[in-house]
Structure 1
Amino acid sequence: MKLRTKIQLLASVVVVVFVSLTNVSVYLFYENQSFQSEAERVLNQTDAMSQAVSTVPYDELILVNVIQSYIPSEGMIRLINQDEESFHTFTTDESFSSISTSFTNSQTAQTLTTDDQERYVIASKPLIWEDGEIVTLQVVERLYGLEENMALLRYILIVASIIAILPAVVGGFLLAAVIVKPVQRLSETMVHVEAEGNFQKLNEQNVTKDELGQLTVAFNKMMERLHRQFKQQEQFVSDASHELRTPLTVIDGYAKLLLRRDIDRSSPLFKESLLAISDETKQMQHLTEQLLILAKDDEQLHVEKTTFFVEQLLEEVTDRFQVATNRSIKQISQRSSQTVYADREKVKQVLYILVDNALKYSEGEVEFVVDRKKDTVYVRVRDYGVGIDEQEVAYIFDRFYQIDAGRNRQATGVGLGLSIAKKLIEAQQATIFVESKQGTSTTFTIGLQAGEDCESDE
């Protein structure tokens, strides 16, 4: 069943049920009130009759005349003794006599529906008879007028229900069209995307601000993201193939050179070939390891968070690079003994990447700056080199993206370091971003979760 049909059917059923329940409730309420009103009317008539009977001297002829003056056009009046026997009956139709007699010494009024669906009101009132005996004065009246009114009410409610349901069905059809149209457009677009392999977006003109409009906007954002990721994947495969092709070509060339010539192992050419093969193999191995890291999902990185002092980790990184490069790395901490809750080895790997870049693209001092805001510890790696152009900052974490080599002609690499750094940081639900002023400085900032034993800033 189509969604439009379901909405139409559901809307129609809801309206039919609501209208039906409403009309049935109105009918039953009116019927109950009408019965009570008729019963009260007949009871008042019975009370008036009893008073009239009690005010006249006892004489059977006079009594008969008084009682007959109160007989309903469709009813019966009778007197019932304590043995529940009727000793005086006055009726316009002998069929009323079939109604069972009932003695009562209290004033009552009730309604009766026969098997033929005829409705009666029976009102009873006790009287003291001439010999002191208590008898029951009973008045029975057939409710012809009420039946006619109830039949008319049923007809009116049925017509009103039809009049109310028809617009509701039409409204359900229009509502289904309004709701289903954008969903149908979305479905058709998705089928087209699957069939054609493109990333078509929905038209956002005249988009409403309701959930359907939000669905359109969300779909377009998803298409845009998928298209961007698809392009990045194509670029990634292309760049990876290109980067792997170069060392493989060098290795193949030197290997063929060694095979073609009978070269003495002690000759410079032999050593040069082996060194070239070794260097290119290491380069390719390093590139492959980086690609494998980028290819892993966050769950496959096996993040193992622990609480550790960030200053101690920075000292290890500082000692490692100062010995290897003989460059100055300064550590600045706003507060002492800062701890973080993160994967220590992965944070260390990220710091290696950031410090290595800082040393490549600057000649002066590199700084570590540590501070904290609320539950986040920020570690900043700052260099005072040539900086990054504002237009390039947005792409700095993209795979294989390399800034103009003019910044540092000695800088080497394939542009995967910062992509790996971002992946390792985001796998820990942490943050990394860059701020740079061209010709002045560049600062990479890592935001890590503070350790439990740290005091929060107020």
Structure 2
Amino acid sequence: MKLRSKIYLYSSVLFAVLLVIMNLFIYALFSRMLTDNELEQAAAETAKIAAAMRRAAGEVTPAELLRAYVPVEGMLRLVAADGSGPAPVTSVSEQELSRLKPDYYEMRQTEMLRSGGHSYAFVTVPVIWADGTVMNVQMTKSLESTMGTLRVLRLVLAGATAVALIPLLLSSRLLSGLIMRPIVQMTATMREIKDSGKFRRLTLQDNAKDELVEMGDTFNGMIALLESNYLKQEKFVSDASHELRTPLTVIESYASLLKRRGLAHPELFNESVEAIHSEAVRMKELTEQLLLLAKHQEQWVLSMKHLDLEELVRTSAKVFHNAYGREVEVQSGGRVEAYTDEAKLRQLLFIFLDNARKYSDEGITVNLEAEGRNSIIVITDRGIGISPEELPKVFDRFYRVDAARSRQGGGAGLGLALAAEIAGAIGAELSMHSTPGRGTAVTIRIAAESRGRS
């Protein structure tokens, strides 16, 4: 059974059962109140008759008294302690009541009894008769009018229940459709994604804030993540196959050269080994960058904390000087702090310092300053620069300015793309200004305090 049918069936049955229980409760309560009221009236009427009969007992015969006070639809009788007494008097319509066996009761009693398929109110009141004996004045009164009212009430409640079930069933179907709509949309969307291979989102009502919309938002978020990972994977495969082909070809060519002519021409050995080693190192760096770019930012392990930027930059500049022998001048007007991930920011600095080293032979300068709630790092070189039309593309993967960033002088075109990914992960903003022939300045803007702090 489908979920829609289950919701429709269970909700319909539940609502129907609740409606029936409510109507049964209403009927039972009204029936109890109506019969209790009739019994109270019968008891009061019997008490009045008993008092009147006692006052007239010495003047009028019991039979005449019974005929005088007999109810319109019922019976009136006198019963002595031994069960004897005058013949009961009944109304014309209730002759069958006279056949009931008389019973004597010591205490006043009121109850409802059934005889011949009809309902009656029975009341017995003990009275002291004129001769000193204790007699029961017993009245049996028909409750058929009350039972008729209850029958009408049963029909009305049954009809109301039947009529109410129609909108109830329709509302249950509407409810099941409303609940199942986003699920059906999800199923259709997933089936379409599977068949077409293209990612789609659910169309949601912005004004609704219920759990179904929340589920749809979660689904769209999951699809966005899957699409992002899929595109990263697709891009990774394309980029890797494109960029790894050249170093692998070089390595294969030199290995083949060594295999064919290495023994006969020893002078080729150093050249071939150097070329193979160089391409292997470049392929290793390229692979590491590709793997990092293929990982989603949310999967990166970050350790955000408050840092002294001047200390971090000076330490990085010293390491860079020791590795490449290039001087890096650090300028700071005072203490500058930032809330970021130390390892990722250091990696970001090395990417821009390495680019400055590759495309500039002159000194490299790093300026630190505080600007409001942000801290700013500016890395400046006086190298060949980048033309204005090329500047917007430098953060794209595998993009290289052909005139200046050839394979001999530059990298694979992944460094700045990786820098953009790192900046996005740690919440930094990057901007680049460059003038051909005069140099390039890269600005890193980082929050000085945690965004959660006031």
TM-score range, shorter chain: 0.7 to 0.9
Corresponding residue to 2:399 among 396, 399, 402: 402
1:266-285 paired onto structure 2 within 5 Å: 267=267, 270-285=269-284
Compute the displacement of 1:42 (Å).
0.9
Q: CA deviation at 1:333?
A: 5.2
Over residues 362-421 of structure 1, what are the superposed CA-to-partner deviations in whole Å (9 max), with x where a residue is unaligned?
Answer: 876222446896xxxx6643235768979987993x6x3536456877972224345555
With 239-248 and 7-16 compared, the bigger mean Cα shift is at 7-16
Residue aligning to 2:430: 434
With over 3 angstroms needed to count, the CA separation of the structure-2 counterparts of 1:350 and 1:122, relative to structure 1, is farther
Which residue is 2:161 aligned to? 161
Q: Distance in 2 between matches of 1:141 and 1:90?
A: 13
Q: CA RMSD in A?
A: 4.4
Counterpart of 1:416 in structure 2 is: 414
Report what 1:49 is aligned to: 49
| Equivalent-residue separation in structure 2 for 1:395 and 1:34 (angstroms) | 91
- Hey, what's the Cα distance between the residues in 2 that align with 1:371 and 1:86? 116
How many pairs does the alignment contain? 433
Report the Cα distance in structure 2 between the residues aligned to 1:299 and 1:332, rounded to whole angstroms: 35
Tell me which residue corresponds to 2:313: 314
What residue number does 2:245 align with?
Answer: 245
Q: Which runs of 5+ in 2 are unaligned?
A: 91-95
Counterpart of 1:402 in structure 2: which amino acid?
Y
Letter in 2 for 1:382: V
Aligned residues of 2:229 and 2:296 also touching (Cα < 8 A): no
- Alignment partner, residue 453 of structure 1: none
Alignment correspondent of 2:93: none
Structure 2 residue aligned with 1:256: 256
Structure 1 residue aligned with 2:191: 191
Q: 1:121 to 1:436 in 2, by over 3 A?
A: farther
The 3-state SS of whatever aligns with 2:71 is coil
1:325 positional shift: 1.9
Q: How does 1:19-418 map to 2 (within 5 A)?
A: 19-56=19-56, 58-59=58-59, 61=61, 63-80=62-79, 83=81, 85=83, 87-88=85-86, 90-92=88-90, 93-94=96-97, 97-98=100-101, 100-104=103-107, 109-112=110-113, 118-132=118-132, 135-177=135-177, 179-180=179-180, 183-194=183-194, 196-199=195-198, 201=200, 204=203, 209-210=207-208, 223=223, 226-261=226-261, 265=266, 267=267, 270-294=269-293, 311-323=310-322, 324-331=325-332, 334=335, 344-357=342-355, 365-369=365-369, 380-384=376-380, 396=395, 400-402=397-399, 404=401, 412-417=410-415
Letter in 2 for 1:58: G
In structure 2, how many angstroms separate the alpha carbons of the residues matched to 1:391 and 1:99?
119
Deviation at 1:248, TM superposition (A): 1.5
Q: Which amino acid aligns with 1:273?
A: S
Q: Which AA in structure 2 matches 1:278? A: H
Deviation at 1:347, TM superposition (A): 4.7
Please say which of residues 315-324 and 27-36 is displaced more in the overlay: 315-324
Residues 394, 148 of structure 1: CA spacing in aligned structure 2 closer, same or farther, 3 A cutoff? Answer: farther
Give, in angstroms, the shift of residue 102 of structure 1. 2.4
Contact 1:330 1:367 in 2 (8 A): yes
TM-score (norm 1): 0.75
Report Cα offsets for 1:161-213 as digits up to 9, x if no partner: 1122123223433444455455434323322332x342153684x96744666
CA contact (8 A) 1:366 1:382 kept: yes
Give the Cα–Cα distance (whole angstroms) in 2 for the partners of residues 187 and 135 of structure 1: 84
Residue 209 to residue 180, structure 1, CA distance change in 2 (3 Å): same
Q: 2:394 touches 2:400 (CA, 8 Å); kept in 1? A: no
TM-aligned CA deviation for residue 33 of structure 1: 1.7
356 and 134 in structure 1: CA distance in 2 versus 1, 3 angstrom threshold = farther
Distance 2:305 2:63 in 1: 109
**CA distance change for structure 1 residues 414 and 100 in 2, over 3 Å: closer, same or farther?**
farther
Q: Report Cα offsets for 1:283-316 as digits up to 9, x if no partner.
A: 1122223334445678987767888766543331
**Higher deviation after alignment, 316-325 or 26-35:** 316-325
Rounded Cα–Cα distance in structure 2 between residues aligned with 1:184 and 1:128: 83
- C-alpha spacing 1:171/1:341, structure 2 compared with 1 (3 Å): closer
Paired letter, 1:17:
V
Query: How far, CA to CA, are the matches of 2:228 and 2:296 in structure 1?
Result: 18
> Residue type of the partner of 2:35?
F
Q: 1:68 to 1:235 in 2, by over 3 A?
A: same
Give the direction of change, closer, same or farther, for the CA distance of 1:170–1:241 in structure 2 (3 Å limit): same
Q: Which moved more, 1:28-37 or 1:151-160?
A: 151-160
CA contact (8 A) 1:75 1:96 kept: no
The TM-score, its normalising length taken from structure 2, stands at 0.76
Q: 1:420 to 1:435 in 2, by over 3 A?
A: closer
CA–CA distance in structure 2, aligned partners of residues 370 and 133 of structure 1: 117
